């Protein structure tokens, strides 16, 4: 029962993060990524992800966009695509 509640809460967190990423993409026109950092679901654009890579929080291999999209839970498409 507790595991079910944890899964439901995590599902709601991911769903809300996806909605937030879509809204931010519509406002800025940039690609946004839903990624798990330190056990929390976060929404970042590419600039913020590069900042986290420079700070050593995220792995250097995530500079490659293919690697990043494999690690992300969800990512938006930019407006020009």
> One digit per residue, pLDDT tens: the chain, 81 residues?
999 999 999 999 999 999 999 999 999 999 999 999 999 999 999 999 999 999 999 999 999 989 999 999 999 987 765
Res 80: pLDDT: 65
- Separation of alpha carbons 59 and 62, rounded Å: 6
pTM: 0.86
Three-state SS for 78? coil
- Whether 41 contacts 17, CB under 8 Å: yes
Q: Which residues face 35 on adjacent strands?
A: 42
Name the one residue in this structure whose structure tokens are 């990043």. 68
- Whether 35 contacts 73, CB under 8 Å: yes
Res 78: pLDDT: 75
- Separation of alpha carbons 33 and 73, rounded Å: 8
């Amino acid at each position: 029962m507790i595991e079910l509640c944890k899964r439901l809460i995590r599902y709601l967190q991911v769903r809300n993060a996806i909605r937030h990423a879509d809204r931010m993409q519509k406002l800025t026109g940039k690609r946004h990524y839903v990624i798990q950092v330190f056990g929390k679901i976060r929404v970042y654009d590419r600039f913020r992800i590069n900042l986290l890579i420079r700070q050593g929080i995220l792995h250097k291999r995530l500079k490659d966009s293919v690697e990043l999209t494999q690690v992300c839970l969800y990512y938006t498409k930019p407006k020009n695509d």
